[in-house]
């Protein structure tokens, strides 16, 4: 008994540090990451899942002796706190947890400073409270100095292993086949803990890296069979209808469909886009399919009709792959291809990926005159961006395919008073409140751009593809969104519906048509190709022409949620699309096979770099 008491005294400081870190993690689960428990077992898991990783991290100090041991307790606690905080900042905007590919996207860091400032709160300093207390105890010599025990490292590993075994056993009872569901990061954090999740994520990422090494040319055979089975013939009335015309693609930053044809305080939020829809083909059941790569994911989907990664950005991890991209195919058909985006060329690793896609030119920030008067937030204001792009368009040989990427409607949605054409919303979310003026400004900038094209005689010889690249208002702001939408609260079904983004095909002189087919960004490439009269039968694509009379009204999202004409599936539940009523899961069963085949075959192409064999 005396020996146990002596050991307790020796480890008391470490045990206090473990308690602080576990308590801090649990509080962040509930208040920062807003993780909800559906039953008592889930709540128990939230309480115990930080234990194994915390004991291991803090226990590293047992490898040291004397004063160094106590200092290492503080250092490891601080490192763990930093990990928690970086996840918290990321979650506040993306409603997701960090992955290793995201952490290595360091070239984006310099452009994120304004966003990080917006995401930081004064109360965040409370996360350092335990570090301050532990440091105070050490500096005041309240903690005795101990020599390193010979058996302590072995005991540490044994205790860590036992705690993790208990954790994973309970988690498997709550969620069978848990570790096969790496696409649901919240579920992993909820069950095995945030630190263990990062270890697991590292394992998954290393697996994906290995797939290219072991890929063989025969691996593409199954992909080709699946493509042939799912090919959809184009609508003969639309095939080649824009042959020889210039193609202007407008990637509209953070634009979601809930603002289209809506008003705020009696004023239209997007008056120009509303009027453009009246003389365009508009797809009102169109969803973004991006994950952590956001804008870069949408670019990848549009260029390749392949899915991006479920974590990180494919622009960083697979820029060296072989692609059969839309720009490359248009080059072969006599088009000049370019991107216009007034940002650093290295952001999202665009300079490298655009080479792989085969673009002729990337007009980056160095092609524009950017100064304090014409920039705000992330850079050059949209109206100035479009105005300065006119001469760049003129410099290109025709026909050309040019993609524009806007900037102003980017989180944290900053805008000068002189450019606010509509009032802010009134809610508890400053992010949502500011979103409406920046959307309205982007809409105005688009109107100016179209007017300038008409003045310059460049409008009639072009077709226009406009789409929202990803959501702007994350799940973190659901309470405020429910106020705007006039609902008491938003369900997982509502969240999926908020992933709708505008999709407009504008061909000057053509009729207006509202198309209700359920679709997504993966369908844009085959649609453009067919409008230009190009054959897609031999191309490996996972989307289908939006105008095809044979297409299945269906979209799969990157987190394996899916939407049909009648159903919505997300987070393990099945809903009726017409009213959001939750129904028995079996109603969604017929679609799971296609969801898995679409995503798994696309991943196989990406991770194995299979197009090098094609």
Q: What is the pLDDT of residues 33-92, one digit of tens each?
A: 888 887 888 899 999 999 999 999 998 888 888 888 889 999 999 999 999 999 998 888
Q: Is the pLDDT of residue 378 over 60?
A: yes
Q: What is the pTM of this model?
A: 0.82
* Pairwise CA distance, residues 254 & 264, whole Å: 18
> What pLDDT was estimated at residue 148?
61
> What pLDDT was estimated at residue 511?
81
What's the whole-number mean pLDDT along residues 125-151? 81
Cis peptide before 399 (omega within 30 of 0): yes
> What pLDDT was estimated at residue 10?
60
- What is the DSSP track for 357-397? HT-SEEE-GGGS---STTEETTEE-HHHHHHHHHHHHHTS-
What's the whole-number mean pLDDT along residues 179-188? 67
- The fold of the 218-613 domain, in CATH, is Alkaline Phosphatase, subunit A (3.40.720)
Q: Is the pLDDT of residue 214 over 60?
A: yes
> What pLDDT was estimated at residue 578?
95
> What pLDDT was estimated at residue 2?
46
Which of 570, 574, 571 shows the shortest CA–CA distance to 589? 574
> What pLDDT was estimated at residue 349?
83
Q: How confident is the model at residue 107 (pLDDT cuts 50, 70, 90)?
A: low
What's the whole-number mean pLDDT along residues 220-243? 96
What's the whole-number mean pLDDT along residues 343-351? 85
Catalytic residue among 76, 99, 270, 295: 295
Q: How is the chain split into domains, by residue range?
A: 2-211, 218-613
* Pairwise CA distance, residues 332 & 537, whole Å: 16
Give phi and psi for 463, each to the nearest 5: -115, 155
- Based on the residue annotation, tell me whether 295 is a catalytic residue of this protein: yes
Q: Is the pLDDT of residue 104 over 90?
A: no
Q: Is the pLDDT of residue 518 over 80?
A: yes
Tokens 């979601």 — which residue?
Answer: 256
Q: Is the pLDDT of residue 348 over 50?
A: yes
Which of 289, 322, 375, 319 shows the shortest CA–CA distance to 105? 319
Burial class (CB in 10 A: 0-12, 13-18, 19+), 250: buried
Three-class DSSP category at 488: coil
């Amino acid at each position: 008994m005396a020996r146990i008491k002596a050991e307790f005294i020796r480890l008391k400081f470490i045990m206090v540090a473990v308690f602080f870190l576990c308590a801090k993690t649990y509080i962040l689960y509930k208040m920062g990451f807003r993780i909800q428990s559906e039953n008592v077992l889930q709540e128990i898991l939230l309480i115990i899942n930080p234990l194994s990783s915390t004991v291991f991290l803090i226990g590293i100090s047992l490898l040291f002796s004397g004063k160094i041991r106590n200092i290492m307790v503080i250092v490891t606690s601080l490192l763990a706190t930093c990990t928690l905080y970086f996840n918290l900042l990321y979650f506040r905007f993306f409603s997701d947890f960090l992955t290793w590919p995201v952490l290595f996207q360091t070239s984006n860091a310099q452009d994120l400073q304004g966003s990080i400032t917006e995401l930081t709160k004064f109360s965040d300093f409370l996360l350092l409270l335990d570090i301050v207390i532990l440091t105070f105890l050490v500096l005041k010599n309240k903690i005795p100095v101990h020599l390193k025990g010979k058996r302590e490292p072995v005991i540490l590993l044994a205790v860590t292993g036992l705690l993790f075994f208990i954790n994973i056993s309970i988690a498997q009872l709550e969620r069978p086949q848990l570790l096969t569901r790496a696409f649901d990061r919240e579920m992993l954090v909820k069950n095995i803990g945030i630190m263990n999740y990062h270890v697991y994520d590292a394992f998954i990422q290393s697996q994906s890296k290995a797939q290219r090494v072991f890929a063989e040319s025969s691996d593409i055979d199954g992909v080709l069979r699946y493509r042939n089975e799912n090919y959809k013939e184009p609508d003969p009335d639309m095939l080649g209808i824009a042959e020889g015309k210039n193609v202007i693609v407008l990637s509209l930053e953070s634009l979601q469909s809930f603002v289209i044809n809506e008003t705020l305080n009696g004023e239209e939020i997007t008056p120009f886009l509303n009027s453009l829809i009246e003389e365009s083909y508009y797809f009102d059941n169109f969803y973004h399919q991006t994950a952590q790569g956001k804008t870069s994911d949408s670019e990848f989907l549009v260029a390749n009709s392949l899915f991006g990664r479920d974590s990180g950005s494919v622009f960083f991890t697979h820029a060296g792959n072989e692609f059969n991209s839309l720009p490359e195919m248009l080059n072969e058909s006599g088009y000049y291809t370019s991107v216009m985006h007034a940002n650093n060329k290295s952001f999202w690793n665009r300079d490298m990926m655009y080479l792989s896609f085969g673009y002729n030119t990337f007009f980056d920030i160095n092609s524009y005159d950017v100064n304090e008067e014409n920039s705000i937030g992330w850079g050059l204001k949209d109206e100035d961006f479009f105005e300065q792009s006119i001469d760049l368009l003129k410099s290109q040989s025709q026909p050309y395919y040019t993609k524009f990427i806007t900037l102003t409607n980017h989180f944290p949605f900053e805008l000068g008073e002189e450019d606010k054409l509509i009032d802010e919303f009134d809610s508890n979310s400053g992010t949502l409140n500011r979103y409406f003026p920046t959307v309205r400004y982007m809409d105005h900038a688009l109107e100016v751009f179209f007017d300038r094209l008409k003045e310059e005689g460049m409008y009639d010889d072009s077709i226009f593809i406009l789409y929202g690249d990803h959501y702007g208002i994350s799940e973190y702001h659901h309470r405020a969104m429910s106020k705007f939408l006039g609902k008491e609260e938003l369900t997982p079904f509502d969240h999926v519906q908020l992933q709708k983004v505008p999709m407009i095909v504008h061909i000057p002189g053509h009729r207006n048509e509202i198309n209700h087919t359920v679709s997504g960004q993966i369908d844009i490439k085959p649609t453009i190709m067919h409008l230009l009269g190009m054959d897609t039968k031999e191309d490996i694509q996972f989307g289908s022409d939006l105008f095809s009379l044979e297409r299945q009204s269906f979209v799969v999202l990157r987190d394996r949620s899916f939407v049909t004409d009648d159903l919505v599936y997300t987070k393990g539940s099945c809903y009726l699309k017409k009213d959001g009523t939750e129904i028995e899961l079996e109603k969604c069963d017929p679609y799971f096979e296609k969801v898995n085949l679409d995503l798994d075959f696309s991943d196989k192409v990406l991770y194995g770099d299979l197009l090098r064999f094609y």
